[in-house]
Every structure is written in C-alpha cells, then in structure tokens.
Structure 1
Amino acid sequence: MARGGVGSAAAVREAVRDSGRVLGSSALEALGRAARAELLGAGPLQDLLEEEDVTDVLVNGPDDVWMDRGRGLERVAVALGTTADVRALAVRLAAIGGQRLDDAQPSVDARLPDGTRLHAVLEPLAPAGAAISLRVLRSRAFSPDELVASGTLPTEWTKLLGTLVERRANILVSGGTGSGKTTLLTALLSLAGPAERIVTVEEARELTPHHPHVMPLVTRRANVEGAGGVTLADLVRDALRMRPDRIVLGECRGAEVREVLMAMNTGHDGGLATLHANAVAVVPARLEALAALAGMTREAVAAQAAGALDVVLHLRRERGRRYLAEIGVVSRDGRGELGVRRAACWDGRGAPEVDPSAWRELTERIGPW
C-alpha cells in the first residue's frame, strides 16, 4: 500500500535527522513503514494486509485476529493491546475512510484510500468492544489461462467465455461472498475489444480490467444531513448518456437492477453484472426480490430479464477453493415465468458435465464456438 508514501517517508527522514540519531537505510525504511501503518494504514494489521495472497483480515478482539489467504480462515498471532486499543483502531480506520464511528453511530461500512473495504462495529453491537473486517482489493486482472492454471476455470470453457464477450452476450456472474465474482468479471472485461468504451458502475472501485478504455463511476454516500448521495441507479442512468459500448454493474444489490435490465433491453448489448446467489436455479428469485425494491412486478421482471440476460456464470467457494461451477441459460418457461436452466456444471476437478438440451439452447443463442 502506498498511501502517502513519499510525504510520510520524507517526514520520517527529517524527524530522524532532527533527533540527531543515525539509522541505516533498512532501519529507516522499517521506521517509515511503521509510521505510515500507524498514521495512514491499519497499524498492527498492515503487514497482514500487504501479504500477497491475503483477501480478508478479521478482528474479533484484542487477541483474536484471523486472515484468509484463499484457503479458508486461519488464526494469526497478532496482539492488538486492549479492547480500548481495538476500538481506537476501528474509529481511526473509519475516519480514514471518511466515515463516522462512535456511540451514536456504532457501525460503519467504508472504503479506505487504497480500496480496502472496512466494516466495523462497536459495543454494544460487538460485546468484545469492537469488531473489524477488512476485505483487500486485488487490482490485478487475470487472463482465462491464468484462471485455468489456478483451478478456477476448466480448460473446456475458456473458448466459450471468449465467445460470450466477443459476441456481446449479456452476462450475469453469480455466487456467494468471496467466491471470485469480481475476479471473473475483471477477466471477462479484459477480453473486450480495445476499441470498446467500458463504463463501470460500483459502490467503490474494484473492477480494474486490463483494457485501454475504462470509465469508472463510483457512488457517493449522503452527508450527515442526508443530502448529496448518488446511488447505483443514478450512475447507471448517467452511464447511458456517456456513449458506452458496455455498461457494467459491479454488483446488483437493490433497485438499480431495474435500470440495468432496461439498458440491456434497449440496445446496450455486452453488459455484465454480478449478483449474490447460491446457484443458477435461484437467480430468478433473487432478481425478483431486488426488482421488487424498484416497484417491478414479477411478470415485469420475467419479461425484462428474459429479454436482457443471456447467460449466468455461477461461482462456488468450497474448502478455500473458488471455481466456476455452473453455466445457466436465461429464458421464460411455458407459463411465462423467468427461469435459468443449467447448461453445464463442474465440480472443480474432473471434466465438466453438460445438459444436452440446455447446452444446445446456449449454442443457438450465441452461435457455435
């Protein structure tokens, strides 16, 4: 993390010089790193956040710290002092993220300057005094071949994913928390043609595809008076006026799903979005629940989604492994209800299994690959 790196390093060098002490370059660098962590970073947790494979750092109490390197949670020996020290760290991190955390506002969801996502709660919500959850942003865009090498994607599906992007299919990436939705979405966007203009809409920027023309839009929270807020739905409407070749919603979580479906139904092909869901079969229910927040009826959701979405790519996380588990085709059944048929599935190890009928429907929709 490089927040304030140059300025704070110079300040540390000046302070050491003024003190009359002599330090070697390595000791001075370590001192500067510690100062940055204490003033601008996560203090004792900073070293954990900077480890290459770490995705999450969780604090349940002063001596109860966990992290996830992609293989599941593991406890780490980091002492944070007292309960008051943990509370002070949570309050400081919230302030760095531009949010308030105190007795009147005992929970916060914020984004630190480097992109790390912070969620923290204070007592009485957290009996231990304070609880801190940090989700690390990894900005690197992986290629499909790298996803195959990591076990996220079977070799048999790499050409299919490239074809979906090339032929501008509207794609919904689903999965649970930490299943790799953003990673896969970033990889797909990196396959888009270099002449295309991609407009991304997110609560905080996580999508950083390897692509020459990405226009990121990020929401803004309302101030303490409740004014000035800009929502995902607002930004999707703005994106429509920005000459996009692709509109990408980082995550469907509310009424903004209406704007996304309408955009995909009005000539904006090649759109992508993510959605929290447990399997492709429950995606219709999730869409209906979110669209209800925008006042859409079940029938309206079915008509809009069936016309807008082509494919659902569902990711699963099991025992620390993340992999593309299902490919679903979106359609309406004989009663006019929205459905997602599973065209293929994979257990993360052997060869993928295919449902011939649904796979044929997928082929007819996007063409052979």
Structure 2
Amino acid sequence: MEELNLIKEKAKRELKERIFDNKEKILSLKEDLRRKAVKEISDNILRKIVNKSKLVLSEQELDNFSLEIVSEVIGYGGLEDLMKDPLITDILVNSPFQVFIEKGGELKRVELNFKSAEEIKTIIERMLTGSSRRIDQFSPFVDFRLDDGSRVTAVIPPVSISPSICIRKFTAEAFQPQDLINLGTLTPEVLDFLELSVKSRLNILITGSTGAGKTTLLNTLLRFVPNNERMIIIEDTEELSLSEDFHFLKLLTRSPNIEGKGEITLYDLVRLSLHLRPDRIIIGEVRGEEVFYFLQAINTGHEGSMCTLHANDTFDALIRLETLGLMAKPNIQAEVIKRFLSRGVDLVIHLKRTLQGRRVISQISEVVYEQGDYKVKDIFSLKTEFKEDKETLKGEFTGYIPSFRNKIKVRTGKDFFG
C-alpha cells in the first residue's frame, strides 16, 4: 500500500510537470478532450513508473489508478462521482466538511469531506479553466457554465466563511410528460389541459421559487409545440433541451470578459429574436429589462410564447412583471404595462415545493382585465388539508370557465370545459 501511494505521488508530480509544459495546448481543449489528452499522458507515465517497480497491476487496475490520478490533478476530486450520478440534480458544498445533494427531490447530506478549504478553491479554479471568468479577492464570487451545461455559482472569502460551490446539473435527458405525472407534479387531467393550452398558442408564464421545477415544466410543455412552428429559445444557461424534430433556434447570453467587455444580455437577445422570424419566443427566465420587449412581442402576434419567473403566486408574478416593465421603461405609464400584461399573458402556472420536497403545480390562473387593472381567476388550485394528524394536498379544477375556452375548442377540436 505504501509503495502504491509513492507511485501515485510520483505520477502526479510528473503529470503536473507535463501539463505545465503543454499548458496552452491542453487548456485550449474542451473539458472532455482535455481529460482524454491528460489521461493518455497519465497512462504513459504510470506504466513507466510501475514497470520500474516490483508491483504487478492488471490493465483494469492501471486504468482505474490512472483515472484516479487525473481526477486529483485536473478533475473535481470527490465531486466527480456526484457529477456522474444522473439522479442528482444539485450539489451544494458549504465547507470542507459539509456537502449536500438533491436527489429525487430530496435534499440530503452526503459523506464527503475535503482535506481543506484550499482544496475546494482549487476545484473551483479547475472548473473555471477555459472560461473567461475568474475568482479572487477582488472578484470573490462567480457564475459560470461547465462544458456539459451545468450551472455553477462559487463564492470564496471574505464574502463566505469557506469557499463554497453550488452546482445545478444540466440534464440532457429531459423529463417526458408522463414523468411529471409519476412524480406527482401534476395529474393526467392537468396535463391534458396544459397540452391543449400550448397547442392553442396561449401565452404562458410559469412561476415559482428557486428549485420549484419551473424549467422542468417549461421543457415538458415545449414538447407539445407543433414541429412546423419556429421557436426562438433564449437562455442564460442552456437548460432547455429538444430533439432535432422540433424547429427551434437557441440563443445564449454571454458574460463580460476580464476587461468587462463583450457581454450579451437577455435584453439584447430578446430584441434580436424579433428579427429572426419567430412564431413563439421562449425565455428560460425573465428578470430584467428584457421584460418590456417580451411583453411587446406577445402583444404583436407572437402567440404561444412562454417564459419563467420567480414569484410567490400567480398574482404576485404579474406585479413582478409590471415592476420589471416599468423599470425598463420608466417613461411609460403604468396603465400601458397593465394592458400589455392583461392582453398578452393568457395563463399563469405556479409551482411550489412541498415539505417533503415534491414539486407540484399549486395554481393555474387566467389573466383578465377588469376596472382598469389586471386580475387572476383561478382555473386550478391546490389546497392543503389537515386530517387525522396528516397533511394532504388536494388539487382540483375550480369550475371557473376561462375566456379562451372557445379558442381551445376551435384550434384543437376539443372542448376541455364542456
């Protein structure tokens, strides 16, 4: 065992030297190609060292040993196995001795410790390799994407007590509609209604808190868009995934470089999208001045557009949209924004997380304009009941018939409320 550790440390030193000698070439590669190149170097180094020693290792043992060395030299250490687990959606590193994951909708602590705070900082710096971002005492926090699309937020002292990492993993395999039924997010009846709403080209706003499942639901609803309709999909981080069967163009924002130049914002991309012949405009999340142009778009013929927004409920979502719209265009009267909202947004869907961690649709509302202001009328509502020392959730359609009932009937041939 001692000899194996000595071989490992020697191989790591030689590997670091070889990487340093070829630094520019290796760093210019994408992460998967970079790992492959470093793995080949590690294999050669390890074989030479083992051949000179008295150890006998099988090909499989050599390969595993080499992968372990590569992980420690350029990889993410103990986080690598968590990153590979397809069931894990979030990884939260609070300190060297406190790591949490979200798996199956449940937040749980894992038995993973780092040697020191410096090891976490080293992992953050490795994650930043190849990006234009940096983290140091002058810029102690950073948001960026990994090559696989996962979203990372890292913070170091003095902003945090210890270097910390928050990873929202990118899932290439998107949820199918039936998956949301199996998870209890919605019922088959709610799914039928939402499918008809998308096919009828209603403008839909999806709201909820962080981690409530807004992007997951949006991704699922996009599967109901007919493939002859052109979607312009705008995101900060690539999270929405569709097959090539659909007609779509993706636009991604870009952070400024170290000199503070080259930034491309959601605002820029929403304005650009209007020149790209969209049938529908899809925004991963609205939160700034891009709101005004999105409201303009859905009021000028781009039916069936969708976006997500952080909010507490369906009515609060409209207040947030109004506020963001006024902040973007302070010279426009509030009455104009209110009309944009009530005439542009047809449906607001709100999600929340239960105490058990399950993501559920808790409210579906129509937006109406009455007496000079917008209001919401609940079509579906989730109620909490307390019976026999148990808390249960019961969702049901309220009986309210929305004004777009005939639009759904004419465009889909189905009368959901009939």
Length-normalised TM-score, structure 2: 0.81
Q: Does 1:12 align with 2:42?
A: yes
Residue from 398, 413, 416 that aligns with 1:355: 398
The gaps in structure 1 that reach 5 residues or longer are: none
Offset from partner CA, 1:72-98 (integer Å, 9 cap, x none): 321111111112222222233234543
User: Aligned partners of 1:38, 1:333: CA distance in 2, in Å?
Assistant: 62
Residue from 140, 164, 171 that aligns with 2:204: 171
Could you tell me whether the CA contact under 8 Å between 2:280 and 2:305 is conserved in 1?
Answer: yes
Is the alpha carbon distance of 1:346 and 1:234 closer, same or farther for their aligned partners in structure 2, counting shifts above 3 Å? Answer: same
Residue from 351, 359, 364 that aligns with 1:322: 359
- CA RMSD after TM alignment: 2.3
Residue from 353, 362, 366 that aligns with 2:408: 366
Residue from 211, 214, 219 that aligns with 1:186: 219
User: Aligned partners of 2:59, 2:185: CA distance in 1, in Å?
Assistant: 42
Tell me which amino acid in the other structure corresponds to 1:188: L
Task: Give the match for residue 48 of structure 1.
Answer: 82
SS state of the match for residue 81, structure 1? coil
Task: Give the match for residue 309 of structure 1.
Answer: 345
User: Aligned partners of 1:289, 1:188: CA distance in 2, in Å?
Assistant: 27
User: Aligned partners of 1:333, 1:169: CA distance in 2, in Å?
Assistant: 20
Task: Give the match for residue 118 of structure 1.
Answer: 152
CA drift of 1:287 comes to: 0.7
Based on CA coordinates, which of the two structures has the bigger radius of gyration? 2
Is the alpha carbon distance of 1:238 and 1:173 closer, same or farther for their aligned partners in structure 2, counting shifts above 3 Å? Answer: same
CA drift of 1:209 comes to: 2.2
Tell me which amino acid in the other structure corresponds to 2:380: A
SS state of the match for residue 80, structure 2? helix
Could you tell me whether the CA contact under 8 Å between 2:292 and 2:329 is conserved in 1?
Answer: no
Residue from 18, 24, 32 that aligns with 1:3: 32
Task: Give the match for residue 103 of structure 1.
Answer: 137
Structure 1 window deviating more from structure 2 (247-256 vs 132-141): it is: 132-141
Task: Give the match for residue 239 of structure 1.
Answer: 273
Offset from partner CA, 1:157-189 (integer Å, 9 cap, x none): 121111111111111111111111111111111
CA drift of 1:239 comes to: 1.4
CA drift of 1:40 comes to: 5.0
Is the alpha carbon distance of 1:33 and 1:288 closer, same or farther for their aligned partners in structure 2, counting shifts above 3 Å? Answer: farther
User: Aligned partners of 1:29, 1:363: CA distance in 2, in Å?
Assistant: 62
Q: Does 1:261 align with 2:298?
A: no
Could you tell me whether the CA contact under 8 Å between 1:240 and 1:263 is conserved in 2?
Answer: yes
Could you tell me whether the CA contact under 8 Å between 2:43 and 2:63 is conserved in 1?
Answer: no
Structure 1 window deviating more from structure 2 (23-32 vs 262-271): it is: 23-32
User: Aligned partners of 2:244, 2:351: CA distance in 1, in Å?
Assistant: 23
CA drift of 1:229 comes to: 1.0
Is the alpha carbon distance of 1:180 and 1:23 closer, same or farther for their aligned partners in structure 2, counting shifts above 3 Å? Answer: farther
The gaps in structure 2 that reach 5 residues or longer are: 1-29, 385-391, 410-414
Residue from 146, 155, 177 that aligns with 1:144: 177
Structure 1 window deviating more from structure 2 (218-227 vs 83-92): it is: 83-92
Is the alpha carbon distance of 1:181 and 1:18 closer, same or farther for their aligned partners in structure 2, counting shifts above 3 Å? Answer: same
CA drift of 1:123 comes to: 1.0
Identity of paired residues, percent?
Answer: 34
Larger RCO: Structure 1 or Structure 2 (Cα < 8 Å, ≥ 6 residues apart)? 1
Could you tell me whether the CA contact under 8 Å between 2:322 and 2:341 is conserved in 1?
Answer: no
Residue from 89, 92, 104 that aligns with 2:126: 92
Is the alpha carbon distance of 1:270 and 1:126 closer, same or farther for their aligned partners in structure 2, counting shifts above 3 Å? Answer: same
Could you tell me whether the CA contact under 8 Å between 2:232 and 2:249 is conserved in 1?
Answer: yes
Aligned length: 366
User: Aligned partners of 2:382, 2:42: CA distance in 1, in Å?
Assistant: 53
SS state of the match for residue 252, structure 1? coil
CA drift of 1:306 comes to: 1.3
Residue from 241, 264, 275 that aligns with 1:208: 241
Offset from partner CA, 1:108-155 (integer Å, 9 cap, x none): 11111111111111111112x312111111122222222111211111
Task: Give the match for residue 323 of structure 2.
Answer: 289
Q: Does 1:160 align with 2:219?
A: no
Could you tell me whether the CA contact under 8 Å between 1:141 and 1:210 is conserved in 2?
Answer: no
Tell me which amino acid in the other structure corresponds to 1:305: L
User: Aligned partners of 1:37, 1:94: CA distance in 2, in Å?
Assistant: 15
Could you tell me whether the CA contact under 8 Å between 1:91 and 1:102 is conserved in 2?
Answer: no
Task: Give the match for residue 252 of structure 1.
Answer: 286
Q: Does 1:228 align with 2:262?
A: yes
Structure 1 window deviating more from structure 2 (336-345 vs 301-310): it is: 336-345
Structure 1 window deviating more from structure 2 (359-368 vs 251-260): it is: 359-368
